[in-house]
Structure 1
Amino acid sequence: MAKVKLKLDQRKNCMRPDGTFPLVLSLSHNSKTRTISLKQYLQPKQWDQSNLTPIDIPYHKAIGIRLRAKLSKAESLIEELKFELSQMSISVLKTKIEAELLSNESTTVSQKTSFVTRKTNTASLTDYSMRKVQRFRDSSKHGSADAIETAIRSLERFTNTHNIKFAEIDLTFLKDFCAFCYARGNKPNTVGAYLRQVKALYNEAIEEGLINEEVYPFRKFKMPKSPKTKNRALRITDIDKLRSLDLKPHSAIWNARNYFLFMFNNMGLNFIDLVQLKKSQLIQTEYDSDGNLISGRIRYSRSKTQKAFSIKMTDESISILNSYEIDTKNEDDFLFPMRYENSEQGRKRYRQQRKRVNRKMRELAKLAHIDEELTTYYARHSWATIAKRKMIPVSLISEGLGHSNLKTTQIYLDSFDDDALDDANASIVES
């Protein structure tokens, strides 16, 4: 007689890098065993085998119900097939159980969708989101567009449909969606990011009169609580270690250090903005008789917010630019040996480029004996954190920069002239 159990597969070869193991249906038949993955991963301390339920994880009750339902479905199928089992291999039985579990999930979604279509509001969240994405694309706000697309794709995986209605999403839907995401191994930060995009779409659709407030599902829903993100910042002593490294000029790792220091020197410039800088964005420049840049400002608009900046170049910024022979470049040339193209293919190349630079930055950290997984974003956090430690007034640089509220920081920066910002910037980077 075939048997099936729900358990945490703690074999050594099943352990993932984060120390978790897969939850599986363990199938035994004719003295052979097979496992069926349930796409849920837990640490041993997070699984209660006696009650067949997760513990100490978000939505553990809902996840437990789903897991036990799958076990029950497998047991029921084995009972239905009891007269055929003697002639059936374990591989065939496993395939039938997997098909039954998949069929059950699709049926549940189909029944739910059928119920939803009877509701009065038939506006499509999917269609509305795609229009929003296109507006962002047209405005070159590709990061915002990508965030919406990623959130909608996660909803489509959950519902198994490509046309999600606003009215379909209620409190129960949101809770089930969270359980679905956690079962796939998503972290609270990720699930929260998905739901914030959906919530924003609802708010805008209500403001535009597309849907009624009655269908708003977030009033009683508690967004996933995210653990406090580790402050990705270096101390000035660590930055000095990077400066002192003896690196081969124009090597990939030498470039990576220059990128980091240039971003740090320019108020935590984002990497996406760094790669787009051109010589034409250098203003009020002065050169010596040998063609070396000796002073000037950088003018650019931040890609994420379109906020305009004009930053006085520090000595270190000038030195970095001179190392790339800035005097020989044309006005339309990029400042650094990276090219950015505002197209789908160009954005793909940018993401690949950022990955390569981040790998080199991690190598830099090891060479400098800095115990951090260094990335491009550390430059921004480091600038903000050092500003805080130096008691730079909150009116110039708020704690929110790079932490929880970048928008507030930009609002504060808007109210001050360039001279005040230049003095604050010089105080930070010329320590």
Structure 2
Amino acid sequence: MMSKNGFSRCGELYIDYLRQEGRHSTAHIYKNALFSFYRFCGRSNVSFRQVTRKCLRCYGQYLDECGLKPNTISTYMRMLRSIYNRGVEAGNAFYVPRLFSDVYTGVDVRQKKALPADELHRLLYEDPKSERLRRTQVIAALMFQFCGMSFADLAHLKQSALESNVLRYNRIKTKTPMSVEVLESAEELIEQLRNRQDALADCPNYLFDILRGGRTRKDERAYREYQSALRRFNNNLKELARALHLKSSVSSYTLRHSWATTAKYRGVAIEMISESLGHTSIKTTQIYLKGFELQERTEVNKGNLSYVRDYFASRRK
């Protein structure tokens, strides 16, 4: 029987709260972290007293031996730390200084996921000779041409987001307001992917034919539909990479990372890259930096596109 004030119960209650808030993605991550910890502990009823520095060290070693990447290990540890802190705030656990100091909770910046420029060019411009893979290529191209937009943001764009050739939306992950000017090269791609169905009452009217939009965003079935679409896109993206004989591993995140890396290679200011991607945590000093205008971000976006599109032509000179 699960203790009403135990670590496990605290975690389960927070997961329920996230689901009620419609934050199904975050709830899913917490659930995975808890289930992983349960497997390590050999039980699903874990008390706060059992979460010790030694236990956490051993758990970290266990995750490493299971082959998990450092960033995944860090995510799981931060989820457990969050649950523990909630228990402390609720008076169900004693505060233990530096409880998580022996485990990894950072971000492994060595995990490079950007494509080399020649492979990025082939991914976005070479014909895969398959209608299904051409559709995947269109999605990938739009993500890149929309300043490295994430798949989640692209899939959830509403019809109302596009006005006077500018996309205005709030990021799914951070709620950061964003604006992206649609380049001329993206206009035909938008039409190829545009949703032609009428929206149902009280349901989102999506711009692209990626999600059906038959349920409200807070409905867990809508989250499951998105996860299915993301898995399908990633699988098709890997197949596209194989069809084009790319050596690098490719995922939906690769396109976002590649946009940022291309901009950095071209000497674009890190503040501009951060703002264009909708990041919120570059440095505290970024608060004092002047925001970049839409026109300036558009020029950076055009430069990135030209660099990749014309990669081979520039090499022949």
Q: Aligning the two structures, in what range does the TM-score lie when normalised by the shorter sequence?
A: 0.7 to 0.9
What is aligned with 1:22?
A: none
What is aligned with 2:103?
A: 222
Cα deviation for residue 373 of structure 1 reads 2.0
Which of 1, 7, 10 matches 1:128?
10
Name the one with the larger helix percent.
Answer: 2
Cα deviation for residue 387 of structure 1 reads 0.9
What is aligned with 1:427?
A: 303
Name the one with the larger strand percent.
Answer: 1
Flag the 1:213–1:152 CA change in 2: closer, same or farther, 3 A. Answer: same
What is aligned with 1:237?
A: 118
Rounded Cα–Cα distance in structure 1 between residues aligned with 2:68 and 2:135? 34
CA contact (8 A) 1:158 1:177 kept: yes
Cα deviation for residue 211 of structure 1 reads 4.8
TM-score (normalised: structure 2): 0.78
What is aligned with 1:173?
A: 55
Flag the 1:410–1:178 CA change in 2: closer, same or farther, 3 A. Answer: closer
CA contact (8 A) 2:33 2:80 kept: yes
Cα deviation for residue 419 of structure 1 reads 3.1
Residue identity opposite 1:422 in structure 2: T
Cα deviation for residue 175 of structure 1 reads 2.5
What is aligned with 1:67?
A: none
Rounded Cα–Cα distance in structure 2 between residues aligned with 1:277 and 1:210? 42
Cα deviation for residue 303 of structure 1 reads 1.2
Rounded Cα–Cα distance in structure 1 between residues aligned with 2:64 and 2:134? 40
Flag the 1:175–1:241 CA change in 2: closer, same or farther, 3 A. Answer: closer
Q: Secondary structure at the match of 1:408?
A: coil
Flag the 1:414–1:352 CA change in 2: closer, same or farther, 3 A. Answer: farther
Higher relative contact order (CA 8 A, sep 6+): 2
CA contact (8 A) 2:128 2:243 kept: no
Rounded Cα–Cα distance in structure 2 between residues aligned with 1:124 and 1:346? 31
Cα deviation for residue 398 of structure 1 reads 4.5
Rounded Cα–Cα distance in structure 2 between residues aligned with 1:239 and 1:410? 29
CA contact (8 A) 2:114 2:255 kept: yes
Structure 2 residues not aligned, in runs of 5+: 308-317
Q: How does 1:332-371 map to 2 (within 5 A)?
A: 333-339=205-211, 341=215, 342=217, 343-371=219-247
- RMSD, aligned CA: 3.4
Q: How does 1:245-264 map to 2 (within 5 A)?
A: 245-247=126-128, 251-264=131-144
Residue identity opposite 2:35 in structure 1: R
Flag the 1:324–1:354 CA change in 2: closer, same or farther, 3 A. Answer: closer
Flag the 1:417–1:161 CA change in 2: closer, same or farther, 3 A. Answer: same
Q: Secondary structure at the match of 1:133?
A: helix
Deviates more, 1:132-141 or 1:389-398: 132-141
Which of 136, 141, 149 matches 2:31?
149
What is aligned with 1:312?
A: 181
The total of aligned residue pairs comes to 295
What is aligned with 1:12?
A: none
Look at both structures and tell me which one has the larger radius of gyration over its CA atoms: 1
What is aligned with 2:91?
A: 210
Flag the 1:211–1:377 CA change in 2: closer, same or farther, 3 A. Answer: same
CA contact (8 A) 1:141 1:303 kept: no
Residue identity opposite 1:254 in structure 2: R
CA contact (8 A) 1:270 1:377 kept: yes
TM-score (normalised: structure 1): 0.59
Q: Secondary structure at the match of 1:323?
A: helix
Rounded Cα–Cα distance in structure 1 between residues aligned with 2:270 and 2:290? 13
Residue identity opposite 1:126 in structure 2: S
Cα deviation for residue 144 of structure 1 reads 1.7
CA contact (8 A) 1:264 1:380 kept: yes
Cα deviation for residue 262 of structure 1 reads 0.5
Rounded Cα–Cα distance in structure 1 between residues aligned with 2:197 and 2:178? 22
Flag the 1:244–1:230 CA change in 2: closer, same or farther, 3 A. Answer: same
Q: Secondary structure at the match of 2:224?
A: helix
What is aligned with 2:248?
A: 372
1:266 has 2:146 as partner: yes
CA contact (8 A) 2:171 2:177 kept: yes
Rounded Cα–Cα distance in structure 1 between residues aligned with 2:176 and 2:163? 18
Rounded Cα–Cα distance in structure 2 between residues aligned with 1:351 and 1:256? 16
Flag the 1:283–1:183 CA change in 2: closer, same or farther, 3 A. Answer: same
Flag the 1:369–1:322 CA change in 2: closer, same or farther, 3 A. Answer: same
Rounded Cα–Cα distance in structure 2 between residues aligned with 1:306 and 1:258? 25
What is aligned with 1:275?
A: 155
CA contact (8 A) 1:279 1:330 kept: no
Structure 1 residues not aligned, in runs of 5+: 1-112, 285-295
Rounded Cα–Cα distance in structure 2 between residues aligned with 1:187 and 1:279? 38
